[in-house]
Chains A and B, each alone.
Chain A
Amino acid sequence: MSISQNHFISPNQLLFFIIQTQIGIAILQLPIDMFKIVKWEGWIAVIISGFCLQLLALSYLFIVSRWPQPSFFTLTKKGLGNIIGNIVNFLYFVYFIIVGTHILTLYYETISVWLFPETPKLFILLLIVIAAVYLVQEDLQLIARFYGIVSILLILIIVVQLTSYSAAQPLNLLPLGLNSPLDYIKASTLSIQSMLGFEIVLFLYPYLKGEYKKIKLMTVFAIGITTTIYVFTIISSYLFFSPDEILLIPHPVLYMLKAFTSSFVDRLDLLFISVWIVSVSTSFMTYLFLASLYVKNTLPIKRRKPAVPFVALIMLIVAMQYESNLEIEAFGDFMHMISPIFFLLLPLILGIAVFIRAPKKEAMS
């Protein structure tokens, strides 16, 4: 199986790929989600889960590098046998659809509340879906380059938040250590959910060109950057709102920007949303890409690109079914419930299987 040149990405591109996939929807809600469990110590939970993810991602790399395959889906078949492998692959496909749909529903909810209450849902979703289909039909390298370019916008995400520091109340972050260890664990598992996207190293590994060491380094680095941005975001909103107030506000990051106006930017929150939409689309694009990768590897067409619009259509149709906030929340809870199967349980089983079957590191077969 030969892969042409522009299918490959470099470790540096992997860095942006991971960051852009991780940072997305959750950045708006993370502060309040954490607050509900561990109050103003939410940032500690994020740091803990950041470390856990580093370990997870490194163990992923360890698994996939032991037995290099043209794709993750062939690795599951080799490791777990054809039948189970196929089932697992299909489950992953469903999982990608679910995550993609989840991104779409949350994105719509936010946009309709903050920006376009009157615009029909279909068109708001189409905006992001069309752009995603257009890009994901290109080669992997192009997608990675796009992610690299839009990563400049992450600087804006940080700079915009700095405005709120004029009204910061440092005492909001104290006292420390009022929570039980169980609460920290609960909060950390929840914040891992908001950092989903690191699992793409499993799927991208066959497309990476570069030293293994450098790949490891960039993966660690990427998760570190995401964690830092999340911690900064959480701390900014905790400094701005008093503890009981934050519980009323589902999107604290946007809300705090409403309090500031300047002569040249009337509404900073809209500026933030515009940047945030790009981050959301990149997360969506990744899952669209992964789902199309499955189609290529499973169906007899053997080509990825024609599958993209169809996969996107499935996500769009499912996302259109969820209307009320409660339904969207229930869908999100469902996703949080099943996602550990995919980023923890299945890779673990696969890792054990690979370890049994391939005790020694093999070259590309």
Chain B
Amino acid sequence: MRVILFILCILLCTSCWDARQLRDITVVKASAIDVSEEGHIILSVASLVAASDQRSAAIQIESAIDHSERGARLELESRYSESIDFSKLRTLFVSNKVAENDIYPYLDAYYRSPRGALASKLVIVDGLASQIINIQPTDRPHTSELVADMVHAGEQQTLIPITNIQLVCPFFFDDGSDALIPVVKLENGKPVLNAVAIFNNKQMSGTLNLRESKLILLMKGAKQSRALLVNQVNDSNEGENIENFISYKVEKAKSSLKVDVDPSADKVTARVNTKLEINVLEFPHDKLTEPGVIKDLEELLTQQLTDEALEVFKKLQEANCDALGVGKRVFAFHPSYYEQKSWKERYPSITIEPSIQVEIVRHGVLD
């Protein structure tokens, strides 16, 4: 009996049906989604081709046009000698044209497949997504690696939120909070991280530059390992002089969001209070031990950052992007008020009062 069992186990547990041999599949590292004039989807993929010499890996890039993402994949299958496999995808590029329309249907195939690589980076491309795929960088096997590393570095610097294909999904289905997704642009033949796309539900409705996105991230309390900022603190005649600038690093960011709802006046007020403890990295003026200087600087920075934050929220409200998730809070604590009217209609006209308090806690080894 045991012998029979043993043999049976050996036969059954090899899972040879679902074995996927590396030699039978083409591993896609990056895919790019564009949309044609007729509204068809243009899917471009870059996959690694095992080269005869181990040092260089060749890249095969193909693209296909079809009505749907999967259809385009089928189309692509005919151009490869193996079946294509998306489970090791590193970066997914989506053109801003696609995102401005409605991004979700194009991502459905990635969400639906059990082997979909949901942890891969999702990047919006300002322009044609396929162009980014077609670049052949000199220092890395492929742009997908380059951009994935770039996005990762950007996350570390608090330039962009930490996202991947799955982590942005909850925002698509939630009226009370919206997604921020990094944008890459081609400049002089190289991909550059240059903005953050702001979304209105499933549609991209604008962009924030990296400084603005850094501020919104700090106000969300989502500081990553480093956050550096530069401000102009002197208005002497030679405006662009180096002496007029202060560079500093945020050591600690604490943020609180308070939402007041007045149903009778139909008024929502969101107060964002952010406290930043900063470490001065560069300030040619020195004299940072004099209490007066420090206090003036702190006040100035507080004033400047708060003004900037106001601008950021103006932009966000124009784009109807609830990046802070004010709506979620209103729904959580005032459900009946929230249900009266769609939050998307309300959000552009609510009052958001940001305040960013700056405190200098360190200033390097110089005074």
A interface residues with partner B (beta carbon < 8 Å): 113-120, 123, 126-127, 130, 134, 167, 169, 171-172, 174-175, 178, 240-245, 248, 256, 258-261
Checking B12, B333, B335 against A126 with a beta-carbon cut-off of 8 angstroms, the contacting residue is: B12
Q: Does B342 sit within 8 A of A, measured CB to CB? A: no
Interface residues of B in 1-59 (CB under 8 A from A): 5, 8-9, 12-13, 15, 17-18
Residues of A within 8 A of B164 (CB): 259
Checking A119, A174, A175, A258 against B18 with a beta-carbon cut-off of 8 angstroms, the contacting residue is: A119
B335 close to A178 (CB less than 8 A): yes
Please name 12 pairs of A and B residues whose Cβ atoms are closer than 8 Å in the assembled complex, sorted by A. Answer: A113-B114, A117-B114, A127-B13, A169-B328, A171-B329, A174-B332, A240-B170, A243-B173, A244-B174, A258-B119, A259-B164, A259-B166
B5 close to A134 (CB less than 8 A): yes
Checking A118, A127, A243, A259 against B12 with a beta-carbon cut-off of 8 angstroms, the contacting residue is: A127
Residues of A within 8 A of B206 (CB): none
Q: Does B84 sit within 8 A of A, measured CB to CB? A: no
**Which residue of chain A has its CB nearest to the CB of B169?**
A245
Q: Does B230 sit within 8 A of A, measured CB to CB? A: no
**Which residue of chain B has its CB nearest to the CB of A261?**
B119
Q: Does B86 sit within 8 A of A, measured CB to CB? A: no
B interface residues with partner A (beta carbon < 8 Å): 5, 8-9, 12-13, 15, 17-18, 114, 116, 118-119, 164-167, 169-174, 177, 325, 328-329, 331-333, 335
Checking B5, B17, B332 against A130 with a beta-carbon cut-off of 8 angstroms, the contacting residue is: B5
**Which residue of chain A has its CB nearest to the CB of B115?**
A267
* Residue from B118, B167, B335 having most chain A Cβ neighbours under 10 A: B118
B171 close to A242 (CB less than 8 A): yes
Residues of A within 8 A of B165 (CB): 259
Nearest first, the 9 closest Cβ-Cβ pairs linking A and B are: A259-B166, A174-B332, A242-B170, A242-B174, A245-B173, A244-B173, A261-B119, A119-B17, A175-B335
- In the assembled complex, how far is the CB of residue B302 from the closest CB belonging to chain A, in whole angstroms? 28
Residues of A within 8 A of B171 (CB): 242
Residues of B within 8 A of A126 (CB): 8, 12
A242 close to B18 (CB less than 8 A): no
A175 close to B331 (CB less than 8 A): yes
CA distance A259 to B169 in the complex (A): 10
CA distance A118 to B5 in the complex (A): 23
CA distance A261 to B333 in the complex (A): 34
A259 close to B174 (CB less than 8 A): no
- In the assembled complex, how far is the CB of residue B2 from the closest CB belonging to chain A, in whole angstroms? 9
Q: Given A171-B325, A171-B329, A259-B166, are A116 and B15 neighbors across the interface (CB < 8 Å)? A: yes
**Which residue of chain B has its CB nearest to the CB of A245?**
B173
**Which residue of chain B has its CB nearest to the CB of A241?**
B170
CA distance A197 to B108 in the complex (A): 38
A169 close to B170 (CB less than 8 A): yes
Beyond A130-B8, A245-B174, 13 additional pairs, beta carbon < 8 A: A116-B17, A119-B18, A126-B12, A130-B5, A169-B177, A171-B328, A175-B335, A242-B171, A248-B173, A256-B166, A258-B118, A259-B118, A260-B119
- In the assembled complex, how far is the CB of residue B93 from the closest CB belonging to chain A, in whole angstroms? 19
Q: Given A169-B328, A258-B118, A259-B164, are A175 and B170 neighbors across the interface (CB < 8 Å)? A: no
Q: Given A116-B18, A117-B18, A258-B119, are A242 and B173 neighbors across the interface (CB < 8 Å)? A: yes
Residues of A within 8 A of B116 (CB): 258
Residues of B within 8 A of A256 (CB): 166
Residues of B within 8 A of A174 (CB): 331-333
CA distance A118 to B20 in the complex (A): 11
Residues of B within 8 A of A130 (CB): 5, 8-9, 12
Residues of B within 8 A of A119 (CB): 15, 17-18
CA distance A244 to B343 in the complex (A): 15
A114 close to B114 (CB less than 8 A): yes
**Which residue of chain A has its CB nearest to the CB of B339?**
A178
**Which residue of chain A has its CB nearest to the CB of B20?**
A118
A175 close to B332 (CB less than 8 A): yes
CA distance A120 to B164 in the complex (A): 34
**Which residue of chain B has its CB nearest to the CB of A244?**
B173
Residues of B within 8 A of A116 (CB): 15, 17-18
Residues of B within 8 A of A169 (CB): 170, 177, 325, 328
B5 close to A259 (CB less than 8 A): no
**Which residue of chain A has its CB nearest to the CB of B5?**
A134
A245 close to B170 (CB less than 8 A): yes
CA distance A260 to B46 in the complex (A): 23
- In the assembled complex, how far is the CB of residue B322 from the closest CB belonging to chain A, in whole angstroms? 12
Residues of B within 8 A of A113 (CB): 114
**Which residue of chain B has its CB nearest to the CB of A170?**
B332
Q: Given A175-B333, A245-B172, A258-B118, are A123 and B167 neighbors across the interface (CB < 8 Å)? A: no
